[in-house]
Structure 1
Amino acid sequence: MFLLFIRERITWILFIVGLLVCINLLFYLDYGFSRISLGYFNILTISVTVLFLFWRYIKEVHQLTNFLGNLSNRYDLLSENVGFSPFQKRYLEEMLSILEEKEFLLNQSKVQLQEDSEDLLAWVHEMKTPLTAMKLVVEQIEDTSLRKKLENEWMRIHLLLDQQLHNTRLAFIEKDNRLEKVTLRTIVYKEIREFHSWCMEKGIGFQVEELEEEVTTDKKWLAFIVRQILSNAIKYSHQNENIDIFTSVDDTGHLLLHFQDYGVGILQEDLPRIFHKSYTGTIGRESVQSTGMGLYLAKNAAQKLGIQITVHSKRDEGTMFTLVFPTENEYGKLLGR
């Protein structure tokens, strides 16, 4: 703080030093000042200057302390008790005026964002009705080849709407979630059934363990996370291959849910960025179906629920995504948020 004060008042100090040099030079050149004690004059001037700087240091540190302590209440900053100089008060008035204007614009933006989010949610929900009707119509088509193509396109639309819905809700997940005991088998089997037509077209099968384990989490958001991982596993698996789904427990007691596919894999240089927003990667650029949003949303939703997502992959050997669920003690911290 003292060094900051010295830097702030360096022009004062340099002025006083320059003035002393000039006076000493005048005393030396002008014979009329020969009877005056130059040493006494210098000591007196320096002492008064040091006392003045010390007084200003105490006063300005006190002002700064009051300023920092009253930032939460802007009206206290301009009170007479704080002791700001007229120039300092003018600076504060201008600064507070700018802050009020910025806060007003920020509040307007928040209101507009909230309205846009609500409109988007309403639109997504409205889209679900014709999408459900479309599903029923597609199921009645007798031409098997045509029906499969339409079912795949319907699935793409469904997944995109689902991502948009959860993307809008993600910012308010704390208000939307509900922690409860959930059996992994219930979630995983339901999501596999959702991809039935897509899997039939590619000949994808599943090797699934019993998955009798229970976890405490939000059922809806966990289903969304599993859905994103499964869609990626199916999308990048080769024809007529299996996807393995199984559980394990690590050394620290965390339950792990694994999704292992044997598809094209992920390049090592892409791995650090696969959870970034809109990042499709080298392989994803080859597919028009990739949006780069699924894993980003899954990662963010998982973090809100205390779940970690890890990934291990090798090019042309496949990819394993793992969900690491928190322990009971860690669930207690989640409930206490």
Structure 2
Amino acid sequence: MGLMRFIKEKNINIIFSIALLLVINIYLISINSFNGRTSDLIYLDFIIITIYLIWIYIAYFNWKKKYYDLYKSILNENDISLEDVKENSLEEEIIFKLIDNKDKKYDFKTKEYEEKLRDMEEYISKWVHEIKLPITALNIISEDIEDYDAASSIKNETEKINFLVNSVIYGSRATVASEDIFIKEENLGDIVKKSIRNNSFFLIKNKVEIVTSNLNYNIHSDGKWIIYVIDQLINNAIKYSKENGKIEFYAEDNREYIKLCIKDNGIGIEKEDIERIFNKGFTGSNGRNKVYKSTGMGLYFTKKVLNKLEHEISVESIKGEYTLFNIYFYKISDYLKVTKM
């Protein structure tokens, strides 16, 4: 707020002061206080107006000193503490109490919302554990079925259900994942192997070749969440694979981070879709194709989880040739810098 805006805010005060000065002038002229010497009256008015303008400027300066930083914080959408608001006037005290009351209501609603999320996550977690029992039973039963095609079909569907169930549990936890994150040193090669093992049935069924190289690096992250992320990327690679599909896993050592590269030779992503593939519910031209069914949630949760872990992800693709996902794991000193931001 500049000086002119401040003056406009004080317009009632200024109008009243001008009116009062006119009344005083009329009164002094009516009683002939200056014996007809108009110049003396003008001089008096000049002194009064000068003093008033000085008072306006001092008031503006004090206001600016008191509130300008607060005003800038509001414009820049920075966090503001109620301690920054001083209660020097009745109006300020009322505003302070209104804000304080709103903050308390907001905190209460936030805690209530978080409690509901935790309850939902707990319910889903219990539901997942319950539903895994019949899935396991179906897998065991399918092994005793003599008809190979029927057994394979049942195994295929139960593996799909198992993947979807795991996606549900991790997707629900991703909303409150900060309580379920344990950062420690993990071996990147071991994490990739576990994820490949998780998806071995679909990799074999779809005849997708796996190539791994240069993965013997230690990273700082939560292994179970990184496995979930890689599971999602492998599932996508299988879903959009071509004949003689191949997925490559390799890592590159940078001064600041270890980069995990996951590259497939599938159908690729349209150039205009690349910037939006991590958006919630975005399926793109591939997902809208009836051949490939997509909810648009897998990559959304992948990005969400990596954000919570303070890792970055990027994607490169050429339609019809390949898709490459890069996950960046900061080394310990840089990871601590990032997590403090």
Q: TM range, normalised to the smaller chain?
A: 0.7 to 0.9
Segment drifting more, 289-298 vs 119-128:
119-128
Shift of residue 96 of structure 1? 4.3
**Distance (Å, rounded) in 2 between the aligned partners of 1:112 and 1:6:** 49
User: In the alignment, residue 204 of structure 2 is paired with which amino acid?
Assistant: M
Q: Residues 46 and 113 of structure 1: is their aligned pair in 2 closer, same or farther, counting only changes over 3 Å?
A: same
1:278 and 2:281 matched: yes
Quote the residue 2:295 is aligned against: 291
Q: Residues 139 and 54 of structure 1: is their aligned pair in 2 closer, same or farther, counting only changes over 3 Å?
A: same
- Residues 173-218 of structure 1: CA deviation (Å, up to 9, x unaligned): 3432333333333222232232233223322222233633333322
Quote the residue 1:197 is aligned against: 201
Quote the residue 2:89 is aligned against: 84
SS of the aligned residue for 2:267 comes to coil
Equivalent residue for 1:165, pick from 145, 169, 174: 169
1:224 and 2:231 matched: no
**Distance (Å, rounded) in 1 between the aligned partners of 2:134 and 2:226:** 26
Contact 1:63–1:83 (CA under 8 A) maintained in structure 2: no
**Distance (Å, rounded) in 2 between the aligned partners of 1:325 and 1:63:** 44
Quote the residue 2:159 is aligned against: 155
RMSD over aligned CA atoms reads: 3.7
Equivalent residue for 1:45, pick from 43, 48, 53: 48
Shift of residue 232 of structure 1? 0.8
**Distance (Å, rounded) in 1 between the aligned partners of 2:178 and 2:109:** 26
1:137 and 2:145 matched: no
**Structure 1 length-normalised TM:** 0.79
User: In the alignment, residue 180 of structure 2 is paired with which amino acid?
Assistant: D
**Distance (Å, rounded) in 1 between the aligned partners of 2:224 and 2:59:** 62
- Residues 145-170 of structure 1: CA deviation (Å, up to 9, x unaligned): 22232223222222222222122222
Segment drifting more, 1-10 vs 31-40:
31-40
Contact 1:264–1:317 (CA under 8 A) maintained in structure 2: yes
Task: Give ranges in structure 1 of 5+ residues lacking alignment.
Answer: none
Segment drifting more, 172-181 vs 316-325:
172-181
Q: Identity rate of aligned residues, in percent? A: 28
Q: Residues 305 and 92 of structure 1: is their aligned pair in 2 closer, same or farther, counting only changes over 3 Å?
A: closer
Task: Give ranges in structure 2 of 5+ residues lacking alignment.
Answer: 72-79
1:7 and 2:8 matched: yes
- Residues 277-299 of structure 1: CA deviation (Å, up to 9, x unaligned): 22111101225631212222222
User: In the alignment, residue 279 of structure 2 is paired with which amino acid?
Assistant: H
**Distance (Å, rounded) in 1 between the aligned partners of 2:305 and 2:327:** 12
**Distance (Å, rounded) in 2 between the aligned partners of 1:142 and 1:17:** 103
SS of the aligned residue for 2:14 comes to helix
User: In the alignment, residue 72 of structure 1 is paired with which amino acid?
Assistant: L
**Distance (Å, rounded) in 2 between the aligned partners of 1:106 and 1:97:** 14
**Distance (Å, rounded) in 2 between the aligned partners of 1:234 and 1:330:** 34
Quote the residue 2:82 is aligned against: 72
1:265 and 2:268 matched: yes
- Residues 100-125 of structure 1: CA deviation (Å, up to 9, x unaligned): 44444443333333322322232223
**Distance (Å, rounded) in 2 between the aligned partners of 1:90 and 1:302:** 43
Shift of residue 19 of structure 1? 5.8
| Aligned length in residues | 327
Shift of residue 18 of structure 1? 5.8
Q: Residues 200 and 102 of structure 1: is their aligned pair in 2 closer, same or farther, counting only changes over 3 Å?
A: closer
User: In the alignment, residue 125 of structure 1 is paired with which amino acid?
Assistant: H
**Distance (Å, rounded) in 2 between the aligned partners of 1:295 and 1:60:** 50
**Distance (Å, rounded) in 1 between the aligned partners of 2:88 and 2:192:** 66
